[in-house]
Amino acid sequence: MELSPRQAQVFAELRAIFLTEGFAHFTVDGAATRLQCSKSTLYALGRTREELIRAVLVDFFKGVAAATDAALTREAPVSHRLLGYLDTVAVELEPASAQFMRDVATSPAASEVYATNTRVATTKLTDLIDQGIANGEFRPAPTDLVADIIATAMDRLQQRTMQHGAGDSTSYRALGELIVHGMASGTARGSHGGNPANETLVNY
């Protein structure tokens, strides 16, 4: 749906409110008053409260997916792309408050959107790891399991954000390095020289 300039402005403001304050207590009446718009303007974006919430969430997570796709598909070694993916996830989730993430976890509609994105991301990570095994960067391993471990660890990091109110981008980087070093083939390790546990990826 193509939005008018005013609709786009209202949608952007609504998204900013959701990311900062969450959406568990969102009402159309309250939003209309706060955003100084008519309820019809809001209902043009979603026919019900639930549709409005879903529209904002889909938009947000689509943005996250687009950014992470760019990291996964760029021209670079697989290890760099995997690290880039996790770095990008951390950056893209930074605007999301702990309250927003709690509301995502407790709202059935939001959980559905989030779960769909997680499944898609896990498939993409599986494909990426397969590429690393095929080109010799990674040693043979059950790729579905590794991708599932990454997805589960990301869920845990996001749960920590919900509990403590702040995300930790260094944790995403640490997860990526753990996977990259743990899966590195003997050839890939030797090409860097030295102890892979102490390796730093410069010019990343």
Domains of the chain: 58-198 (1.10.357.10)
Nearest to 121 by CA among 145, 102, 147: 147
If DSSP codes are grouped into helix, strand and coil, which group holds residue 168? coil
Query: How large is the average pLDDT for residues 42-55?
Result: 94
Please give the distance of CA 101 from its chain centroid, rounded to a whole number.
Answer: 12
**pLDDT category of residue 25 using cuts at 50, 70 and 90:** very high
Of residues 86 and 33, more confidently modeled: 33
pLDDT surpasses 60 at 187? no
pLDDT surpasses 60 at 120? yes
Query: How large is the average pLDDT for residues 43-63?
Result: 94
CB 113 within 8 A of CB 62: no
Query: How large is the average pLDDT for residues 6-25?
Result: 96
Euclidean distance between CA atoms 2 and 12, whole angstroms: 14
Give the C-alpha distances (Å, rounded to integers) separating 162 from 80, 87, 103: 28, 19, 9
Query: How large is the average pLDDT for residues 95-123?
Result: 85
Of residues 106 and 165, more confidently modeled: 106
**pLDDT category of residue 136 using cuts at 50, 70 and 90:** very high
Euclidean distance between CA atoms 66 and 69, whole angstroms: 5
Euclidean distance between CA atoms 132 and 76, whole angstroms: 11
Beta bridge partners of 184: 138
pLDDT surpasses 60 at 50? yes
Give the pLDDT of residue 40.
94
Percent residues over pLDDT 90 in the chain: 46
* E-strand stretches of 29-72: none
Euclidean distance between CA atoms 56 and 35, whole angstroms: 15
Euclidean distance between CA atoms 177 and 199, whole angstroms: 9
Q: What is the mean pLDDT of the chain?
A: 84
**pLDDT category of residue 175 using cuts at 50, 70 and 90:** confident
Give the pLDDT of residue 196.
38
Give the pLDDT of residue 198.
39
Give the pLDDT of residue 151.
84
| pLDDT tens, position by position, 87-104 | 998 889 889 888 898 898
pTM of the model: 0.79
Euclidean distance between CA atoms 87 and 73, whole angstroms: 14
Give the pLDDT of residue 204.
28
Q: Rounded to a whole number, what is the largest CA-CA distance in the chain?
A: 64
Query: Position of tokens 């990674």?
Result: 138
Residues belonging to the chain: 204
Positive/negative CA dihedral, 182, 183, 184, 185 = positive
Query: Position of tokens 């991301």?
Result: 121
Give the pLDDT of residue 164.
61
